[in-house]
Amino acid sequence: MDRDMLDDQRELVDLIEDAGWEVTGLELSSYDSPWVDEDAPEAEVTITARKPYGDGDVAGDADGEGDGDDENDSPFRIN
């Protein structure tokens, strides 16, 4: 594995962590591209991260007492 690839991977992880995310999984694959007639390898990085939001209240529920059963409570629903 090329040292530059590992440095780039670390830079991506740092950027994600600086944005408040916790990296929970990381995979770096290095391969020779079948579409390019060069000897330079390519890399693919897959990063899994999590970030908790709020203090556990239901989104859009200011008093935190929503039960979430009403289909109109969904923050992803457009009325």
Average pLDDT, the chain: 79
pTM: 0.59
Q: Which of 43, 4, 39 is nearest to 26 (CA)?
A: 43
Does the residue 75 lie in any domain?
A: no
Does the residue 35 lie in any domain?
A: yes
Residue 79, pLDDT above cutoff 70? no
Does the residue 34 lie in any domain?
A: yes
Does the residue 71 lie in any domain?
A: no
Residue 75, pLDDT above cutoff 60? yes
Q: What is the pLDDT of residue 55?
A: 73
Which of helix, strand or coil describes residue 49?
A: strand
Q: Considering its fold, how many domains does the chain have in total?
A: 1
Rounded mean pLDDT, 45-69: 69
Does the residue 78 lie in any domain?
A: no
Does the residue 38 lie in any domain?
A: yes
Domain ranges, residue 20: 3-61
Does the residue 76 lie in any domain?
A: no
Which of helix, strand or coil describes residue 68?
A: coil
Residue 19, pLDDT above cutoff 80? yes
